[in-house]
């Protein structure tokens, strides 16, 4: 605890000591040492002894916890985080109390009543943490922060889970007393908690204010994305007061209407533009006021620009895909390209390749399902299983197979299938080297990963949102850093 608290001084303004895993005897022995540690630290310290029913690990009774708080309450520079039922039994005037409540089931329907119960205690600071499954769930937290600010109440309010990241990043700029960050990866004390270092280096949390323009990635899942590294680095390099956040969105209609559309959104924030990823690239088109002709032809939007009260849709995937390809190989009318996959990514790929005038063949496991896409772009569709790609100059993986997570060990094609191919182009960017690329390299194929496409399309998004040329080198370097952290 002493060593980790010392390390935390480099990234924290406040340090929380979680004592949940100590039993009664261990706590009794540790009290003096805890007092020494907190006295030595140069910043405020929160001490927490969370019971299991509130998301902690302690199985101590209320009486046992009350005894501990009584021993520790005389420590200086310490805030005691206690649960609602404990507030009345804590021997303190309330000046160093945080009265907290955690709901891991979701957002309680009586959250305003809960706030009032906490406010009726003598605690100086209130804390409410709920579980979010969709970014729209964050609205209740931002409403509470606005209420507390109006009441003159110090409030910690946040949504846990991946969908709650927006509250962690934007909370302090909207009146939250603090936000939480883990000291290390995989050591967070609540679901959805990223590291304090990421809060500072990726999201630049200390520079966010009410005028900060908010951009983000809309999809599900999105937390694996390195786009926040790319765009936030670009904003910082150009001196733009903006932040880019991953938005975990399952209910797209509710998100657009309640958080994005200027005429109907329920939150006062400066939304500048959005990236859109799976599974929403097609569905989002019905909620836009205007769509670029190219995006209409492709049948997918991956970029939204907000102009006045209108939402404008674009597709930057096409340029992102073709630019790295053309700098790697020469394509002509005699070139043959195989595209594996018939999902959303394949739309932009097929459109781009048809514009180059090359021969394109679409390969899919479900030919019947892929046939509609093949007819849309007037290409041949073939069965993937058992296919051989000898004779093709380029093979493109437009499926999610090989991407970080459960599919990382998978590949849409084997070495034998890829033998004789000049270039294997994988649109997956995380990990940096996929199994598909390794299978191709094993039989002498040149390989190209999705990182180049990611950065190329992001540069065009930046231009659409800001009107400025993107700092390409900065964005590429940030992407590499983000990918390295993901691999670590």
> Which residues are catalytic, by number?
281
pLDDT of residue 92: 64
3-state secondary structure of 302: coil
Predicted confidence (pLDDT) per residue in 456-468, tens digit? 999 999 999 999 9
List, as one string, the DSSP characters of 3-71.
HHHHHHTTT-SSEEEE-TT--HHHHHHHHHHHHHHHHH-SS-EEEE--BGGGTS-B---HHHHHHHHHH
pLDDT of residue 26: 85
Burial class (CB in 10 A: 0-12, 13-18, 19+), 65: buried
Predicted confidence (pLDDT) per residue in 334-369, tens digit? 999 999 999 878 999 999 999 999 999 999 999 988
d(CA 280, CA 252): 7
The β-bridge partners of 219 are 248
Q: Is residue 384 very low, low, confident or very high in pLDDT (cuts 50, 70, 90)?
A: very high
Which residues belong to CATH 3.40.50.720 in the chain? 330-449
d(CA 264, CA 246): 22
pLDDT of residue 115: 97
> CB–CB of 249/277 below 8 Å?
no
Q: Which two tokens stand for residue 333?
A: 């009318």
Q: Which two tokens stand for residue 260?
A: 């994005």
> CB–CB of 377/360 below 8 Å?
yes
Q: Taking the alpha carbons of 274, 278, 282, 284 in that order, is the dihedral positive or negative? A: negative
Q: Which two tokens stand for residue 163?
A: 């969908």
Per the prediction, the chain carries an average pLDDT of: 93
The rounded Cα 360 to chain-centroid distance in angstroms is 35
Cis, bond preceding 223 (omega within 30 deg of 0): no
Q: Is residue 329 very low, low, confident or very high in pLDDT (cuts 50, 70, 90)?
A: very high
pLDDT of residue 487: 65
Buried b (16+ CB within 10 A) or exposed e, 125-136: bbbbbbbbbbbb
Residue with the larger pLDDT of the pair 238 and 63: 238
d(CA 227, CA 245): 9
Domain 2-203, CATH = 3.20.20.70
Total residue length of the chain: 488
Among 445, 470, 466, 98, which Cα is nearest to 307's?
A: 466
Q: What share of the chain is helix, strand, coil (3-state, %, to 5)?
A: 40, 20, 40
Q: Which positions ≥6 away from 10 have C-beta within 8 Å?
A: none
Domain 330-449, CATH = 3.40.50.720
d(CA 294, CA 299): 8
Per mean pLDDT, which range of 85-99, 166-180, 186-200, 453-467 is the poorest? 85-99
The β-bridge partners of 99 are 82, 126
> CB–CB of 157/138 below 8 Å?
no
pLDDT of residue 204: 97
pLDDT of residue 393: 97
pLDDT of residue 37: 85
Q: Is residue 214 very low, low, confident or very high in pLDDT (cuts 50, 70, 90)?
A: very high
3-state secondary structure of 103: strand
pTM of the model: 0.93
**Cα angle, residue 66 at apex, residues 65 and 70 outer, rounded to 5°:** 120
Buried b (16+ CB within 10 A) or exposed e, 365-377: eebeebeebbeeb
pLDDT of residue 444: 97
**Cα angle, residue 244 at apex, residues 243 and 246 outer, rounded to 5°:** 140
Average the pLDDT over 106-120 and give the result: 95
pLDDT of residue 299: 92
Domain 214-315+456-487, CATH = 3.40.50.10860
Q: Residue 17 pLDDT > 70, yes or no?
A: yes
Which residues belong to CATH 3.40.50.10860 in the chain? 214-315+456-487
Whole-angstrom CA distances from 102 to 19, 57, 110, 237 are 17, 14, 13, 38
> CB–CB of 426/448 below 8 Å?
yes
The β-bridge partners of 217 are 246, 275
pLDDT of residue 312: 98
**Cα angle, residue 336 at apex, residues 394 and 292 outer, rounded to 5°:** 80
Beta strand 336-340 with 423-426 is unpaired
Q: Residue 169 pLDDT > 70, yes or no?
A: yes
The β-bridge partners of 246 are 217
What phi-psi label fits residue 4: left (phi over 0), alpha (psi between -120 and 50 degrees) or beta?
alpha
Residue 38: φ, ψ to 5° = -65, -35
Which residues belong to CATH 3.20.20.70 in the chain? 2-203
Average the pLDDT over 237-253 and give the result: 98
Q: Residue 119 pLDDT > 80, yes or no?
A: yes
List, as one string, the DSSP characters of 237-284.
HTT--EEEEEEE-S-HHHHIIIII-TTT-SS--EEEEEEE-TT-TTGG
Per mean pLDDT, which range of 61-75, 162-176, 228-242, 315-329 is the poorest? 61-75
Q: Residue 230 pLDDT > 70, yes or no?
A: yes
3-state secondary structure of 437: helix
Predicted confidence (pLDDT) per residue in 48-103, tens digit? 988 888 888 888 888 888 888 877 766 678 899 999 888 876 656 788 899 999 99
> CB–CB of 321/427 below 8 Å?
yes
């Amino acid at each position: 605890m002493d060593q980790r608290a010392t390390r935390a001084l480099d990234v924290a303004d406040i340090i929380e000591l979680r004592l949940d895993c100590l039993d009664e005897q261990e706590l009794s022995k540790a009290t003096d040492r805890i007092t020494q540690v907190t006295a030595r630290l140069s910043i405020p310290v929160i001490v927490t002894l969370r019971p299991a029913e509130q998301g902690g690990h302690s199985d101590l009774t209320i009486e046992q916890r009350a005894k501990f708080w009584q021993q520790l309450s005389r420590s200086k520079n310490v805030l005691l985080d206690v649960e609602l039922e404990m507030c009345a039994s804590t021997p303190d005037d309330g000046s160093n109390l945080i009265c907290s409540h955690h709901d891991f089931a979701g957002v309680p329907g009586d959250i305003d009543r809960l706030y009032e119960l906490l406010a009726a205690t003598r605690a100086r600071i209130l804390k409410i943490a709920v579980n979010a499954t969709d970014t729209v769930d964050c609205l209740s937290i931002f409403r509470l922060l606005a209420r507390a600010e109006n009441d003159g109440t110090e409030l910690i309010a946040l949504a846990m889970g991946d969908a709650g990241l927006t509250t962690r990043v934007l909370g302090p700029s909207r009146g939250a007393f603090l936000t939480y960050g883990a000291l290390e990866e995989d050591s967070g004390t609540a679901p959805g908690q990223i590291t304090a270092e990421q809060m500072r280096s990726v999201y630049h949390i200390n520079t966010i204010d009410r005028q900060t323009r908010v951009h983000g990635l809309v999809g599900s899942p999105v937390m694996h994305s390195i786009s926040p590294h790319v765009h936030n680095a670009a904003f910082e390099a150009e001196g733009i007061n903006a932040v880019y956040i991953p938005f975990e969105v399952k209910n797209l209609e509710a998100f657009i209407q309640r958080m994005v559309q200027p005429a109907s959104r329920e939150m006062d924030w400066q939304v500048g533009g959005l990236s859109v990823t799976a599974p929403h690239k097609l569905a989002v088109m019905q909620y836009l006021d205007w769509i670029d002709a190219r995006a209409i032809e492709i049948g997918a939007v991956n970029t939204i620009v907000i102009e006045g009260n209108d939402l404008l849709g674009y597709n930057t995937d096409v340029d992102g895909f073709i630019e790295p390809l053309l700098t790697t190989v020469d394509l002509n009318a005699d070139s043959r390209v195989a595209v594996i996959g018939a999902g959303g990514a394949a739309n932009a790929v097929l459109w781009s390749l048809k514009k180059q005038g090359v021969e394109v063949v679409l390969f899919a496991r479900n030919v019947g399902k892929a046939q509609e896409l093949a007819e849309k772009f007037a290409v041949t569709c073939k069965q993937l299983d058992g296919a051989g790609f000898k004779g093709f100059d380029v093979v493109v993986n437009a499926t999610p197979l090989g991407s970080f997570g459960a599919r990382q060990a998978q590949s849409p094609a084997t070495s034998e299938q890829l033998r004789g191919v000049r270039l294997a182009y994988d649109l997956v960017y995380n990990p940096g080297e996929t199994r598909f690329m390794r299978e191709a390299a094993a039989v002498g194929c040149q390989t190209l990963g999705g990182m180049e496409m990611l950065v190329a399309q992001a540069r065009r998004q930046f231009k659409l949102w800001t009107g400025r040329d993107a700092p390409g080198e900065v964005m590429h370097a940030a992407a590499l850093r983000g990918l390295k952290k993901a691999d670590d």
